[in-house]
Structures are given as C-alpha cells and as structure tokens.
Amino acid sequence: MFDISKLKSIVGEDWVVTDRQQMESYLIDETYTGLIMTPADNVVVVKPANAQEISQVMRLANEEGFPVYPRGGGTGVCAGAIPTRDGVVLSMERLDKVEEIDKENLMAVVQAGVTLSQLLQSVESAELLFPPHPGDEGAQVGGLIACNAGGTRAVKYGVVRNYVKGLEVLLPTGEIVTMGGKLLKNNTGLDLMQLIIDSEGILGIITKAILRLYPKFAGPATLVISFDDRHAAMRSVPKILQSGVIPMAVEYVDHDLMEATASYLGTTWPATKGVAHLIIIVTGTNEDDVYEQCEKISEICEKNGSVDTLMAESREEQAHILHVRSETSMTYKARTAEILDVTVPPAAIGDLMDEIDRLGAEYDTKIPMVAHAGDGNFHPHLMLELKERGVEKEVKRRIYARAVEMGGVISGEHGIGKTKLQELEMCLDAKSLDLMRGLKHLFDPNNVLSPDSAIK
Amino acid sequence: MFDISKLKSIVGEDWVVTDRQQMESYLIDETYTGLIMTPADNVVVVKPANAQEISQVMRLANEEGFPVYPRGGGTGVCAGAIPTRDGVVLSMERLDKVEEIDKENLMAVVQAGVTLSQLLQSVESAELLFPPHPGDEGAQVGGLIACNAGGTRAVKYGVVRNYVKGLEVLLPTGEIVTMGGKLLKNNTGLDLMQLIIDSEGILGIITKAILRLYPKFAGPATLVISFDDRHAAMRSVPKILQSGVIPMAVEYVDHDLMEATASYLGTTWPATKGVAHLIIIVTGTNEDDVYEQCEKISEICEKNGSVDTLMAESREEQAHILHVRSETSMTYKARTAEILDVTVPPAAIGDLMDEIDRLGAEYDTKIPMVAHAGDGNFHPHLMLELKERGVEKEVKRRIYARAVEMGGVISGEHGIGKTKLQELEMCLDAKSLDLMRGLKHLFDPNNVLSPDSAIK
C-alpha cells in the first residue's frame, strides 16, 4: 500500500518500526474496555525528528493516499490515536524539547512531544506555574492542546485552551504554519489557532506550542469537606463561587468510591465522615489570603450542612489526597465498560447525578461518579455488566439525552475521537456537523489525517 | 438591485429605512479620519426584531445576491460596519434584551444588540461582575464578541473570548445555529464558536450570547505610579506580574498625553510628577488582600525607580482617572490619521516604543502612545500631517515590520476590517490566508455577508 523505503529515507531507517511486536504499545491508547477498537493489520510506526520530516511524511501520504495517525502520549480515552486503517502511526516522541522558559513574558516554548510531567518540572525549576493538571502526566503537550484538556484545575484558570498563545502546526497537506505567538492579544484575521485547539488531530499536527505561565501563587491548600448528602455538597458549590472565592479546583467525590480507591491502592482515605466530599484546592496572593479563603469556604459549607472539614497544608498530605482522587478510575477499571464525560450548566449537576442514581436503580447497577463540580463536568462510570446485558448503550443514551435537555453536551474534556460518532448528533445540529465536515475537507482535502474520526 | 418590498414584508414597513438623511448615522463607524471610507450610494437600513427575521433577510440576500452589513453599536475603528457596496445594513438594535442573569451558574444570556452599558448595569444590579471593559459602552454585545474586544482589563481575566460560553449564530446562508451553552467545558466536535469569535461579522451574525460572570471581587483600587523615564515604568510591569500579583489592568500612559487630555476635558490630571505613568487596577478576595497587593506593587515600582504613587480608593477618584485615560484618543482626534494597534510579547513593548520615538524624530513628528502594558498591546497615534506629507503609510509599515520582527502582530484588539487589507500579509503566511478565505467560502458561499472585508 505504501513504500516503506520512502518513509525510511525521510526519517532514517532507525526511526521506522515495522515489526508488529515492537509496535504493540503504539497501537492502543487508554480507551475504555467497552469501546476498545482493533488496530489495522498493516501499520508502520514512524518517529520523525522535527516538523520538516513530518511535512515530508504528509506530502507522501497525500501522494500515495495512506492514512496518518498522529500519536502523543497515548493517554486519550476515545480511540483517537488507534490506527484502525492500514497506515502510518506518527509518534511525536522525538519532538521532546522544552525550548524556552521565558520568565519576562511568562511563556513556555515547548515541542509537541514534551510530556506534561516534563513541562511541569521545567516550569517548577523556573519557579513558575503552569496551572492546569489534566490527569495523566504522560500526556504530551500536543495532545493536551489537540484535545483541549480540562481536568480538575479549570475552575479558576480555565481549560488548556486559555493557556495556548501560539502554535506551530503541520497541516495535512504538508505546510508548516505558525499561529499566534508570545501574545496576550491577537485579532489578526480569523483565529485558526482556536480551531486547531480541540481539533483532536484531524485538522493538523501540532509540532510546537507557546504556553502562558503564571507566577507561583501562595498555597495551594487542599480542603476535604464532608457532607451527609450529595445535595448539600452540590448546593455549596455555587455559594462558594458567588462569595468571591474562586478555588483552583472543586471536585465532588462519593465517599465510598474514595474508600474503595484507597483500599485498592493499599492506603487510607483521610476523611472518615459523611457520604459525599468536596475536594477544594485554594491558591491566593499570600498565605493569609489562602487561609482566609479556606476559612470562608469552610463557613459556607457549614451553613450548607457540611459535617467535617479537613485541611491539608503539607505537600505530602495534599499529594496523597490528589493521588487517591486521580486513581478513582482504576478502582473499577477491570469492571468498567466506559466512563462518560457529560457536562451541564454547573448548577444542574446535582439533579443530573440524582437522575443517574435512579437510572442505576432502574437497571439494577451501581454507577459511580466523580465530578468537577465547579465546571459542571462529571464522569459516570458504566459497568461492563451493563454491556454484557446488552443495555449499556441504552443507559448511555438516556444519560446523554437528559444532559442535552439540561443544556449540556456529551463531552466536556475527553473529546469525541472514534468512540462517540453515533452520539455526536444528539447535541449537534445537521448544519453544524456539515460545517465541521467542510472544515475537515478544507484542511485535509485527501482525508489522510486521522481519516476515520467522527468528523470526516 | 433588490426588492425593498420583500425586505418590508420580512421586518415590517416601519423597520426599513430608505431615506438617505435618516440613515446617515448608520453609514459610518468610529474609523479614524485618515482611513475613513465612503459608503455606497444605494443602501437600505433594515432593523429586524429577531433571529428568524434575520434568517429571512439572509435567504433573500443569497437569492438576490445583495450584500448584507451587520451593524452593532458602530464603535468599530476598522470600517467593518461601513457599507461600501450597494446593499443592506442590518442593524441589531432591536435585539436588545438581557434575557437572564443566572446567579447560580454565573452566566448572562443576552441578545446581541444589548449595549455594554446595559449589560454592565444588569450585571451590577445582580451584584455580579462582567470584568472586561473595552472602551466605548455604546458597543453592542454582538460586536464585542465578533471583534473579540480587549481593552484595559485583559491582564487578569483575559479578552472577551474568555467570557463567551455560548452563542446563537445566524449563518450567512440563513440557518440559525446554537453553539456551546452555560458550559465551562465543551469538547464536542470542532469548536465553531471559537471561530465565530473574532470573525468580524464575515462568517455569521451573532444574535445571542451566553457570557460568564464573576462574583464582585473586593476593590477595585486604582494606583497611578509615576516614573521619570518610560523604561523604568516598563521594567516594573513583568516584575509585578512575576511577583504573584496579577492586577486587573496595567496601563502605560505618557504624562504629557494625560495632561493634554485632562485639559481638553476641562479638568486636571491628578499625578503631577514624572514623565510616565502606570495606571494599575487591583481587585482581590477582600479589602486586606487588595491593600496588600497595592503595597506590593508600590514597593516593586519603587525598587524600579518610581518617583510617586497615588492610590485612588473612592469610586469618584477612580472614575475620574479612568475617564481621562479613556478619552486620550479624543485629545488629538481631529489631528490623528490613524491609531495603530500593534501587539508584541509584553516584555518587548518598551523597546518598540523607543524605536517608535526615534521614528517620530526621524519623520519630525510626535507619535503619542498609550499601552496596555500588561498585555503587550499598544496604540501609537499617527498624525494627519504625516498623511498630508504622504509618508503615513510608510511610517505605519515600518512600525508593523518591527512589531512582526519582534514576534508581534498588527492588531491586538481593533481587528482588520476593511482598513488593514494590505498589511495583513505582513504577519500572515500565504497558506493561512488561503485557509481563512476557504473558511469564508465555506460559511458564506455566495459572499453576501460583509463581502468586502480583508478576507473574502
């Protein structure tokens, strides 16, 4: 189908993998068990050194008509990186340089294959802060941007989109284009950069990014606040936000899930009271400010029925709490068909979670949930047993339908990839879908880049 | 060219203006003297009541092939709203309802013709805050979004883009599409909403918006800090931002310009020392926090050579300072050919301003400047005398060329409109321009919406 010798002449023989066993880890990502897709039989993994080599690969792909699947850290959960047609997996792993931490402009210039872990370390060494923390630190910068990653810390500073100020993008047709720069304002023509963000690797391959950094704020301090019922916890969230305190993160977790996760990890969950917790992370201009914000949050929650507040100030305690929180999806992993990613207006979360509880009862299943409560984004876990009983899709569609009725969408941060093709129409009208397909065709006329995604 | 009776049957006879004298104010905007364009001879002003009527107008425009120029508050400075071809001016003034201030979700739902002044009042009545303040309060919400307005308060909370969470958009082909919602996260397909923001009315007509609100923060307090030289002022800005204090606004102004503006307004400028000022607006979680931030800023500036600090806490004093600041462009208005809008990496502003001073000396002219110093966005004023001497374009292009060399762009907040067509290529490559034209064609295949803008 395509000439491997040409690929070798572009990137060098050492950087083309044709042996199936050696490429196993490049054929999958973190897509949930119930949705996993089979990679195609004839796949070649190519590891270019720079944008110029990628450009040559893309030009070849257009000439010879083979699909290219760009691949970052492989931490996506929607099968976006899985090569489901015979073609090339383009691994970004060699574009791994943090080119600059610019303290004067508070910007980082990083290649797309830099991992979140690497970025955080470089920024930390410069005594600055990159606020978002969307889960897996093995994720690469290109993927974080292509998927507009969210995560727990979007309440105060927003999702990854807010941090992206400049991009170098390799277009499907082979051109290398720069967009934006170390710029905080830019109204120069239509904003192609905003279109590339969250395009899930179908409009272009991000090769470099300029990211906004912040000074280190005082804190963080982490509160775990316990409630005897979920609604009391959920009711407290808008009250906190309205009070003028904007925490960095406001997470809702079920007590049972945290106990189970801690036990799975061989450790303990520090909050022993209540059935529902808010995990709230606070930063501020100085220690007093952080402390006063914590006091205020604690008072508001007490007025709204909290039964206990635990404040973690040491790095270790906080890390422990966040570690348990970040591993919740592992607890049930073997038994989970799919983790949903619905987003609704923030004040509607509590009601939708109750409806999902009732739906769980109706289908005789437990649907564990964690919520980015400040953002209206939450993750119901659908168990494999539902799939085995042939009702998983039905339950999912009922949850999606209610979310959409409430003014929500089916994905807040995970994206669409190849796993939500059928459901996309539940929250997008035909004309919008048409325009999206038109955009795909405009950027990628021969449909060579991730050709089997939802929008093609 | 087109059938006025059909327009009347869509919006009603009372809402179609054909008398030239009655439409004078609809034919111009705030475009600078040196760039002003002549409106076409055969123009009809249409004032639809709602999106459905606009849809019918757009369908008619496609059938009959006449241009439509959407018009908000007419406060743009790039001739975007000036009908330079025979056609229809579509005034959004009747879409003037603040539909909802949603305190639980901290969102406002407003029609596109709502003015900034109206929005600010509604939000204030609900004891909430819409942080941006991009100049003229007669601007309408649709225009603020279509132009991704910036203004002085972008340092802490960003430009208007950051506040837009949902849109109702009337496509050039007549379809009404909703994008986003009361949502803080949304990764559901390609982000058409982000493309409409800053599209300057060429991809669609915004008819309704959902905007994120904030609780009222403590403050604001306003500092006017005086320096004996510009570089000392400019050097202080990154130091302030690095310290962990992020003011709402950091404005640089020349002392002379402020004196002249105050005198033009028949009042006085309170800061008497120094040749250069930073005007800094601070908000915080409580009064102590605001005060401590002010102290910190003041100390940092003293270390960097400030000679005086004036702190305004009362509403009146602050309003006075901001009023004088906002009227700077009026001082020289009659003598100004054009106010530029270059944006560079924030730390490069001081150097570029110095170069512009030298350029002024070379061309024997004064080039007054105000700068959103925290954003890297600033406004050199080119005087009419340069145009009269036939060198204005040359001076402008030299400034643009240096800005682009420094990694900047020719517009940070004013946009491109019809006045920067020739210069757009100075900061965009051919492929990006091609893609932008492709986007225009995708959304508006018959080129009926603002058909003579830079991108067509």
Assess if residue B455 is contained within a domain. Answer: no
Of B7, B14, B85, the closest CA to residue B53 belongs to: B7
**pLDDT (tens digit, 9 = 90+) per residue, B272-319?**
999 999 999 999 888 888 999 999 999 999 999 999 999 998 889 999
- Partners of residue A424 in chain B, C-beta under 8 Å: 188-189
Assess if residue A15 is contained within a domain. Answer: yes
Please give the residue of chain B at the shortest CA–CA distance from A184.
B375
pLDDT at B2 over 90: no
Contact B285 A286 (CB under 8 A): no
Please give the residue of chain B at the shortest CA–CA distance from A185.
B412
Q: Which SS3 state, helix, strand or coil, does residue B380 take? A: strand
For residue A104, the domain's CATH number is 3.30.465.10
- Residue linked to tokens 């050097």: B235
Assess if residue A434 is contained within a domain. Answer: no
Mean pLDDT across chain B: 94
Give A268 to chain B, closest Cα distance, Å: 32
Q: What is this structure's pTM?
A: 0.95
Please give the residue of chain B at the shortest CA–CA distance from A421.
B189
Tell me, what's the pLDDT at A1? 62
- Partners of residue B372 in chain A, C-beta under 8 Å: 185
Distance CA B295, CA A403 (A): 47
Assess if residue A112 is contained within a domain. Answer: yes
Among A215, A235, A269, the domain-final residue is A215
Contact B454 A288 (CB under 8 A): no
Tell me, what's the pLDDT at B286? 86
Mean pLDDT of B336-358: 94
Mean pLDDT across chain A: 94
For residue A319, the domain's CATH number is 3.30.70.2190
Assess if residue B406 is contained within a domain. Answer: yes
Please give the residue of chain A at the shortest CA–CA distance from B234.
A104
Residues B204 and B229 in one domain: no
Residues A211 and A104 in one domain: yes
- Partners of residue A181 in chain B, C-beta under 8 Å: 345, 407-409
Of A12, A110, A94, A23, the closest CA to residue A56 belongs to: A12
Residues A79 and A129 in one domain: no
- Partners of residue B341 in chain A, C-beta under 8 Å: 187
Q: Which residues contact B72 (CB under 8 A, 6 or more apart)?
A: B81, B92, B112, B113, B139, B140, B141, B142, B143, B144, B146
| B347 → closest Cβ in A105, A187, A409 | A105
Mean pLDDT of B345-356: 93
Contact B218 A244 (CB under 8 A): yes
* A171: its two tokens: 């277009």
Contact B181 A407 (CB under 8 A): yes
**pLDDT (tens digit, 9 = 90+) per residue, B97-140?**
999 999 999 999 999 999 999 999 999 999 999 999 887 899 99
Contact A194 B195 (CB under 8 A): yes
Assess if residue A166 is contained within a domain. Answer: yes
DSSP classification of residue B48: -
Confidence category of residue B5, pLDDT binned at 50, 70, 90: very high
| B286 → closest Cβ in A292, A347, A375 | A292
Mean pLDDT of A316-322: 93
Please give the residue of chain B at the shortest CA–CA distance from A239.
B104
Give A347 to chain B, closest Cα distance, Å: 6
Please give the residue of chain A at the shortest CA–CA distance from B242.
A215
Assess if residue B148 is contained within a domain. Answer: yes
Residue A274: left if φ>0, alpha if ψ -120 to 50, beta else—which one?
left
Among B174, B193, B215, the domain-final residue is B215
- Partners of residue A428 in chain B, C-beta under 8 Å: 188-189
Tell me, what's the pLDDT at A270? 95
Contact A424 B189 (CB under 8 A): yes
Element spanning A300, H or E: helix A287-303
Contact B189 A416 (CB under 8 A): yes
- Partners of residue B347 in chain A, C-beta under 8 Å: 102, 104-105
Residues A22 and A67 in one domain: yes
Query: Given CA atoms A75, A78, A84, A85 in this order, what sign does their dihedral have?
Result: negative
Distance CA A274, CA A255 (A): 7
Tell me, what's the pLDDT at A95? 98
Residues A104 and A211 in one domain: yes
| Least confident among A17-31, A86-100, B240-254 | B240-254
Please compute, for residue B436, the number of CA atoms within 13 A of its CA located in the half-sphere on the CB side. Answer: 27
Distances (CA, A) of A325 to A165, A234, A251, A306, A384: 30, 18, 9, 20, 22
Mean pLDDT of A304-327: 92
Assess if residue A448 is contained within a domain. Answer: no
**pLDDT (tens digit, 9 = 90+) per residue, A65-91?**
999 999 999 999 999 999 999 999 999
B449 strand-pairing partners: B68
Please compute, for residue B251, the number of CA atoms within 13 A of its CA located in the half-sphere on the CB side. Answer: 27
**pLDDT (tens digit, 9 = 90+) per residue, B388-430?**
999 999 999 999 999 999 999 999 999 999 999 889 999 899 9
Q: Which residues contact A448 (CB under 8 A, 6 or more apart)?
A: A58, A61, A62, A65, A66, A67, A68, A172
| B241 → closest Cβ in A106, A187, A427 | A106
Residues A105 and A211 in one domain: yes
Give B254 to chain A, closest Cα distance, Å: 22
Contact A181 B103 (CB under 8 A): no
Residues A48 and A103 in one domain: no
Best to test chain B binding among A163, A185, A414, A418 (most B CBs inside 10 Å): A185
| Least confident among A189-203, B43-57, B148-162 | B148-162
Confidence category of residue B1, pLDDT binned at 50, 70, 90: low
**pLDDT (tens digit, 9 = 90+) per residue, B162-176?**
999 999 999 999 999
Residues B303 and B354 in one domain: no
- Partners of residue A214 in chain B, C-beta under 8 Å: 246
Tell me, what's the pLDDT at A2? 74
Domain coverage including residue A394: 332-415
Contact B190 A181 (CB under 8 A): no
Mean pLDDT of A293-298: 96
**pLDDT (tens digit, 9 = 90+) per residue, A13-64?**
999 999 999 999 999 999 988 898 999 999 999 999 999 999 999 999 999 9
Of B8, B86, B82, B4, the closest CA to residue B48 belongs to: B8
Beta-carbon contacts below 8 Å between A and B: 283
- Partners of residue B288 in chain A, C-beta under 8 Å: 288, 292
For residue B74, the domain's CATH number is 3.30.43.10
**pLDDT (tens digit, 9 = 90+) per residue, A209-220?**
999 999 888 888
Residues A336 and A266 in one domain: no
| A183 → closest Cβ in B188, B408, B435 | B408
Give B122 to chain A, closest Cα distance, Å: 16
Of A192, A200, A369, A374, the closest CA to residue A275 belongs to: A369
- Partners of residue A155 in chain B, C-beta under 8 Å: 184
Tell me, what's the pLDDT at A68? 98
Tell me, what's the pLDDT at B92? 98
DSSP classification of residue B88: E
- Partners of residue A415 in chain B, C-beta under 8 Å: 187
Among A308, A328, A348, the domain-final residue is A328
For residue A355, the domain's CATH number is 3.30.70.2740
DSSP classification of residue A204: -
Give B158 to chain A, closest Cα distance, Å: 8
Residues A242 and A301 in one domain: yes
Structural domains in chain B (count): 4
Chain centroid to Cα B314, Å, comes to 27
Contact A191 B187 (CB under 8 A): no
Contact A292 B289 (CB under 8 A): yes
Residues A207 and A113 in one domain: yes
Task: Give backbone dihedrals phi and psi of B187, rounded to 5 degrees, phi first.
Answer: -120, 50
Q: Which SS3 state, helix, strand or coil, does residue B49 take? A: coil
Please give the residue of chain B at the shortest CA–CA distance from A375.
B184
Contact B292 A284 (CB under 8 A): no
Distance CA A29, CA B414 (A): 43
Residues A46 and A102 in one domain: no
Contact A238 B372 (CB under 8 A): no
Residue A202: left if φ>0, alpha if ψ -120 to 50, beta else—which one?
alpha
Mean pLDDT of B150-170: 90
